[in-house]
Amino acid sequence: MSRKLQNKQLMTGYIFAIGATAIWSANFIIARGLSDSISPITLAFWRWIVAVLVFLPFALKKLILEWSIVKKHIPYLILTAFLGITTFNTLVYFAGHTTTAINLSLISITFPIFIIILSRLFFKDLFTLNKAIGIILVAAGVVSLITKGDFSKLLNLSFAIGDLWMLIASIIFAFYSIILRRKPEELSIWTLQLSTFILGLIMLFPFFILDTQISTPPVFEIKIILAIFYVGIFASLSAFVLWNKAVAAVGPSKAGMVYYTLPLFSGFLAWYFLGEEISIVHFYSMLLIVPGILLANYEPEKV
pLDDT tens for each residue of 3-25: 777 777 888 888 898 889 889 88
> How many whole angstroms separate alpha carbon 124 and alpha carbon 244?
22
Q: What is the pLDDT of residue 300?
A: 65
H helical segments located in the chain: 3-33, 40-65, 67-72, 74-81, 88-95, 101-108, 111-123, 129-146, 161-180, 189-214, 222-229, 239-250, 252-258, 262-269, 280-297
- Summarised one tens digit per residue, pLDDT across range 106-151 is 788 777 778 878 887 877 777 778 878 887 887 788 777 767 777 6
pLDDT band for 196, please (50, 70, 90 cuts): very high
> How many whole angstroms separate alpha carbon 188 and alpha carbon 191?
5
Whether pLDDT at 180 is above 70: yes
Share of the chain above pLDDT 70, in %: 91
Q: What is the pLDDT of residue 142?
A: 74
Longest CA–CA span in the chain (Å) reads 63
pLDDT band for 156, please (50, 70, 90 cuts): low
Closest CA to 35 of 87, 82, 79, 101: 101
> What average pLDDT does this structure show over 228-237?
89
Can you say how many angstroms the Cα of residue 22 is from the centroid of all Cα atoms in its chain?
12
Q: Is 180 helix (H, G, I), strand (E, B) or coil?
A: helix
More confident residue, 166 or 301: 166
pTM: 0.77
Number of alpha carbons in the 13 Å side-chain half-sphere of residue 222: 0
> How many whole angstroms separate alpha carbon 168 and alpha carbon 48?
21
Q: Please, what is the average pLDDT of the chain?
A: 84
> How many whole angstroms separate alpha carbon 92 and alpha carbon 170?
9
